Copies of this chain bind each other. A is one copy, B any other.
């Protein structure tokens, strides 16, 4: 059986995990049998164009879960083939806390369809189909700027550029502002799409720890004593992965510190529209409009498959972003820009957002209640008031990554903390993304996780050896 995975480096799953999942499925579907020999790591790495360490990590994960056994000098062999019942369960849908995205079941399809109908019925639809400006579709830009001006999010001298979601806004910013070796302040833990992007660009990431109340500003002060970072990227509302929100006073302090350090402030406000409880806090951009570059998106509050986000900031910087946008892909897709404009200006977006807020509040209540009920004593977790994620720290001796395979065998998944770490490993931490699941599934999944985590705590306390999985992310 040749090993030929489609390595879709999807948004949240590392390559080693995809490879191990693929091989696991070959076993589960009978295409690899007990005793079959896997290719040597070096050989498979060569065939697939991967690092050998990625293949090794995949094999290690398969060993950890019992599917594969390694024999020094002889190679790795399929060791365990589950029963048919076990296989059926394994191939069912898992309860996934792994991805920070809205539930497909909540998409307002009729409202989406109506918006599309209205766009294509227009007599000037040909204009949408023609090549356009790297700044974006002018009617959408006007609409978003009016909204931003009304909310105090865009001073007169600001400009807007439409991007393919916030991810592209981050990419354009690094292309225009960063040279290899430049340093950037980021949250630690942080959204992996930011970490991977900036690291690949050759930036030096200065991770500042997250507290339950957002960025640790005393730590930031110490960083700024010895470093001169070009910019800071901060997610003040419902940060991914922790769900933490920075209080108003700390926002003011952060802005003062950034100004003194002559460090550009990039406010990633991906989750700001999704507050389920508590009182809204002013955006950094509202507090210091001239000092902040603001990133927003329709993705989290409506349809992530339509790639429409935007960046608002000083005109001269935005002219450079638009230039980079042109090199990258000329401009963002017009059809989705026009559809999102119609969805928003028709009022449908706001109606949908209210529905999402109601459901999100139920999801959040369910996950917090389940944390209290099921997590083993000594666990801690954040108390977000919105967004899609919360952060769990299990008792210190528990390795969250090492337990993932066991959780997946029981059809529950999450992302271990190491996936998000910048420079401070937290092996006992994990992210729970709750926005994609109905409350009863949240409760069911948490009950399973709680049992697995608690039994691990018992095992370690009983003197069982503590055997962390290799660091592979």
A: residues with CB less than 8 A from B are 6-11, 15, 48-50, 99, 101, 104-105, 107, 109, 112-113, 116-117, 120-121, 125-135, 163-165, 167-168, 171, 193, 196-197, 200, 299, 302-307, 315-317, 319-320, 322-324, 326-336, 339
Contacts and interface: CB of A to CB of B under 8 A. Distances in A.
A414 to B, nearest CB: 17
B306 A131 contact: no
B120 A113 contact: yes
B134 A112 contact: no
Contact of A336 (B197, B315, B335): B335
A121 B329 CA distance: 29
Given A9-B319, A116-B116, A336-B336, A327 B129 contact: no
Contacts of A331: 307
A196 B8 CA distance: 30
Contacts of A330: 11, 164-165, 167, 193, 307
Contacts of A8: 133-135, 322
Contacts of A165: 329-330
Contacts of A299: 131
A377 B43 CA distance: 65
A299 B129 CA distance: 9
B104 A49 contact: no
Contacts of A303: 129-130
Contacts of A339: 335
A51 to B, nearest CB: 11
A9 B323 contact: yes
5 contacts: A15-B323, A101-B131, A104-B130, A128-B305, A336-B336
Given A9-B322, A11-B326, A163-B329, 17 more contacts: A8-B322, A10-B132, A10-B133, A10-B326, A15-B323, A49-B320, A99-B131, A104-B127, A104-B130, A112-B125, A113-B121, A129-B304, A130-B303, A168-B328, A171-B327, A306-B333, A307-B333
A83 to B, nearest CB: 31
A448 to B, nearest CB: 24
Nearest to A323: B9
Contact of A7 (B128, B307, B319, B332): B319
A161 to B, nearest CB: 10
B132 A49 contact: no
Contacts of A167: 327-330
A131 to B, nearest CB: 4
A171 B11 CA distance: 20
A315 B171 contact: no
